[in-house]
Structure formats: C-alpha cells, structure tokens
C-alpha cells in the first residue's frame, strides 16, 4: 500500500504549491474586494486572470482518474494536490478543480452521451462555464434521498420539471450555465429506481431563484447556494443522463469521489488552522509567557498534529482502495473519512480560534469562515449519522453466522465459562 507522493506527482505538487504561494495567496483580498465591488453575484477579473496563468502552466483538471480527459492521476495522487488546494479556498477553482463542477464533470464523463459531453463537458473542462447540482429539497429529509419529490414527466419529446430544490450550490454564479437535477421520473418503481438525473440549461424558462441561502451568515458569493423553484421547466428528452430511473446509480458513482475530494481539502484546512495556531502561540504573550506555553496549548497543538496525521492516513487509504478495488468495496472507508475528517478539522479550527481570542471569530483571520465550512461539511453529501450507519451495517455484516435464537455460549464455545459449575 503506497500512500506517499509518487515520483510522477512530486514535480506537479511542487508546482501547485509554488503557484498557490506566488499567485493565489497575495490575491485573496483582491478577489474579496472585486466580489464586493461587483455586487457579490458577479464575475471577477482576478479569478479569470489566475485561471489563465494556471492553465498556461499546465496546472489544470487534476481529477477524472479513469478518463483520457483527465490528468492521468490516481485518487492517491490527487489527494496530495487537493490537500494543498484546501488550504486556500480560491485554489480549487483556479486549477478548475472546484465543486460542484468536478462532480458534475465526472457524471457527464462517466454516464453522459457523446452529445452531452460535447455540449456541456467540454466547456466545463475548459473552465469557460460553471454548473450546479440540484438534489436536496426543502420539504424532504436530505439524509434520505428516496424522498425526493421534484417531478419530471415526459410529455411528447420533452421532460417537464416541477418542484423545488435548495442548497443548489453554484447557482448564484453568473457563469453557471448548466444544472444537473435529481428528480422523480418513475414514481411507481422500487424506491431506488424512481429517480433520474437530467441536464437543465440554467436559462430555461421556469427556473426561479427564490433566495440565496447563507451558511452561518456567509453567502459564499459569487458561488452561493440557492433555493430554486422549477415551474413547468421543459427540456428535450435527450437531456436525460444514462436513462430513466438510474439517478440513484449515478448519485452513488458521483458522491464517492466527491466525498473523498471534500476530505482531502479538509485536511488542508486543518493544516492551515494548525499553522495559524502555532504562529499565534509563538508571537503573542500573556502573563509574561508565550501563549503557546499557557493553558494546555502544548496538548492542543500536539493533539492537532496527531489527529491530522490519522485523518490523512485514513483518507489516503480510502483513496488507495478506490484506485485498487473500486468505490463499492471502499464504501466503509469512504464513509469513515466523511465522518472523521470534518470533525477532526473542526476541533483543530476551534482550538486555533481559542488561542486567537476575539480575533479568531472576526474577519481578520479566516478561522471563522473555515469553521463554518467544515461544520457544513458534516451535513453536505450526507450527514454523519448516515455514514456512521453505513460503517456499522458493513461491520455487522461480517458476522452472518450469528443466530439470535441460539444462546451466545453455544455459538462461541462458552469462552467465559458462563453457567459452569
């Protein structure tokens, strides 16, 4: 099991790290200022400028491990790059590796027709447009996707969509041109064969953004998360992806890589928080001592390093399993990291906030926004409870021979001598 940075990826990782430090870090404030000046939901010149520089250097589209359109990287390779990108949130888009575009591109590449790839995948891969994924609904528990209610009915040669979605991430961006919408097309089928995924151009009549939703007060502009109503939205029947009733199959293929990408970036977030914690602890004094030397901060710093290393190894193992035995066999490991990594990152960020005092929850440092993002990740792509249930069910499934009707001592040879004289 080789989880390290390969010789093939080392130069690429060095180039990505250097690009981030040279071009992205100095322009974080420029980007924020341009978003504010443009009224939040706007294109920003600095982002397009950075994208052009990255693409010119060949730092582009690192994902799609099984496609000739990708960079030829394994999931383990990509994990090391994603960690670096996670430290600075602009990085993913600069290298055209941002969600939900990566997941949407993987869906179209893996399941789309050649016509769908030409119309939507090619401009997404070129970074000319952006996209949104519309799955979660306001009136259904998002942890149970079988409850999705947005309906698509076939009328002649068109699918007609009616219903609502929210947390439609990316829909606020004016460059968002295509939506992938999870909807019900086979209401009488078994519950996992009722849903489909359909490509819906953003400018189709009948799409209405009711409001842009905030995350702990952050609007995440210009990307954003929208509450969207679909009223008699008509698209050609050819916009169906893979086939009617196969939406759940697509979702499982999409969410596995998506979850691991999130966790890879989260490790980068935790690393940045630990760096900020250490720098603060060494640069500030109270009661005649450095902050690092007070209040059990040695323990917090040590725990942060230990937990980050554990999270990284678990994530890399999941990535390695995806590469070697496939997503289905790696289900438990993928679910494990989706629970473990955001929680570990949250603890590191919380300790970093504490050592910063009031500054830690202000806009002066990125920690508050980092906390909001990681806390949200405990819900995005399935809440902790769903993933814990997956892990537990797979673990219990290792013991198919257990018969509740047979006394435990009869099944295990009475190792404790229960009932013995």
DSSP-derived letter for residue 118 is I
Contact 19, 54 (CB under 8 A): yes
Q: In Å, how far are 60, 255, 293 from 381, measured between CA atoms?
A: 25, 7, 39
| CATH architecture group of domain 248-396 | Up-down Bundle (1.20)
| Structural contact between residues 340 and 312, judged by C-beta atoms closer than 8 angstroms | no
Low-confidence ranges of the chain (pLDDT < 70): 66, 408-421
Structure tokens at 420: 């013995």
Percentage helix, strand, coil for the chain under 3-state DSSP, each rounded to 5: 50, 15, 35
Distance (Å, rounded) from C-alpha 290 to C-alpha 209?
50
C-alpha 76/C-alpha 333 separation (Å) is 14
The four Cα atoms 366, 372, 376, 377 give a dihedral, to 10 degrees, of 30
Buried b / exposed e across 323-346, counting CB within 10 Å, b at 16+? beeebeebbbbbbbbbbbbbbbbb
Residues 55-85 have pLDDT tens digits of: 999 999 998 876 788 788 999 999 999 999 9
Given this model, what pLDDT does residue 136 score? 94
Cα 7 from Cα 15, distance rounded (Å): 13
Tokens 């990284």 correspond to 312
The values of phi and psi at residue 308, to 5°, are -65, -40
What six digits make up the tokens of 331?
């289900």
Quote the pTM value: 0.92
Per domain, the residue ranges of the chain are 10-112, 130-241, 248-396
Q: Tell me what pLDDT residue 253 has.
A: 80
Question: Residue 209: helix, strand or coil by DSSP?
Answer: strand
Chain-centroid distance, C-alpha 328: 18
Decide if 180 contacts 228 (C-beta within 8 A). Answer: no
Structure-token match 């979850």, residue found:
259
> Which backbone phi and psi does 210 adopt, to 5 degrees?
-75, -40
**Which residue, among 237, 262, 223, has the nearest Cα to 375 in the 3D structure?**
262
Which tokens go with 32? 């924020």
Residue 46 · residue 27 · CB < 8 Å: yes
Residue 130 bridge partners (DSSP): 176
Instruction: Determine contact, residues 100/131, Cβ cutoff 8 Å.
Output: yes
Contacts of 297 (CB under 8 A, 6+ apart): 281, 291, 355
CATH number of 130-241: 2.40.110.10
| Angle formed by the axes of helices 75-87 and 297-324, nearest 10° | 150
pLDDT of residue 410: 65
Report how far apart, in Å, the C-alpha atoms of 162 and of each of 70, 151, 158 are.
Answer: 35, 5, 13
User: What was the pLDDT predicted at 189?
Assistant: 95
Q: What is the pLDDT of residue 420?
A: 54
pLDDT digits (tens, 9 = 90+) for 254-279: 877 788 889 999 999 999 999 999 99
d(CA 65, CA 330): 16
Burial class for 54, CB neighbours closer than 10 Å (0-12, 13-18, 19+): buried
C-alpha dist (Å) from residue 383 to 88, 339, 387:
24, 8, 7
Rounded distance between C-alpha atoms, residue 311 and residue 412, angstroms: 35
Rounded CA-CA distance 101/51 in Å is 15
| Second CATH level (architecture) for the domain 10-112 | Orthogonal Bundle (1.10)
Is residue 319 within 8 A of residue 78, CB to CB? The reply is: yes
């Amino acid at each position: 099991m080789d989880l390290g940075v390969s010789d093939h990826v080392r130069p690429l990782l060095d180039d990505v790290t250097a690009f981030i430090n040279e071009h992205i870090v100095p322009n974080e404030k420029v980007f924020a200022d341009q978003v504010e000046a443009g009224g939040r939901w706007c294109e920003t010149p600095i982002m397009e400028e950075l994208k052009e520089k990255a693409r010119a250097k060949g730092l582009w589209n690192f994902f799609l491990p099984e496609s000739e359109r990708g960079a030829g990287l394994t999931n383990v390779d990509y994990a090391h790059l994603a960690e670096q990108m996670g430290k600075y949130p602009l990085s993913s888009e600069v290298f055209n590796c941002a969600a939900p575009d990566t997941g949407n591109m993987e869906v179209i590449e893996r399941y789309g027709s050649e016509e769908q790839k030409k119309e939507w995948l090619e401009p997404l891969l070129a970074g000319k447009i952006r996209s949104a994924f519309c799955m979660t609904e306001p009136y259904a528990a998002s942890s149970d996707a079988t409850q999705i209610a947005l309906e698509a009915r076939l009328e002649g040669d068109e699918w007609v969509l009616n219903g609502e979605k929210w947390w439609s991430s990316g829909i606020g961006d004016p460059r968002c041109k295509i939506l992938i919408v999870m909807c019900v097309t086979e209401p009488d089928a078994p519950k996992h064969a009722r849903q489909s995924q359909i490509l819906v151009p953003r400018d189709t009549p009948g799409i209405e953004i009711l409001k842009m939703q905030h995350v702990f007060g952050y609007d995440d502009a210009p990307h954003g998360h929208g509450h969207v109503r679909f009223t008699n939205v008509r698209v050609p029947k050819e916009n169906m992806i893979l086939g009617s009733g196969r939406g759940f199959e697509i979702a499982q293929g999409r969410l596995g890589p998506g979850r691991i990408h999130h966790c890879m970036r989260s490790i980068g977030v935790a690393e940045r928080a630990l760096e900020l914690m250490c720098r603060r602890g060494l640069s500030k004094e109270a009661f005649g001592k450095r902050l690092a030397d007070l209040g059990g901060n040695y323990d917090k710093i040590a725990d942060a390093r230990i937990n980050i290393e554990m999270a990284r190894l678990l994530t890399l193992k999941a990535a390695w399993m995806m590469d070697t035995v496939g997503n289905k066999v790696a289900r438990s490991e993928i679910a494990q990291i989706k629970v473990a990594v955001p929680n570990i990152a949250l603890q590191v960020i919380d300790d970093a906030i504490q050592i910063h005092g009031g500054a830690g929850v202000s806009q002066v440092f990125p920690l508050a926004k980092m906390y909001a993002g990681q806390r949200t990740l405990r819900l995005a792509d399935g809440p902790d409870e769903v993933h814990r249930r997956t892990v537990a069910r797979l673990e219990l499934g290792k013991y198919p021979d257990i018969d509740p009707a047979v006394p435990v001592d009869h099944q295990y040879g009475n190792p404790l001598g229960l009932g013995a004289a």
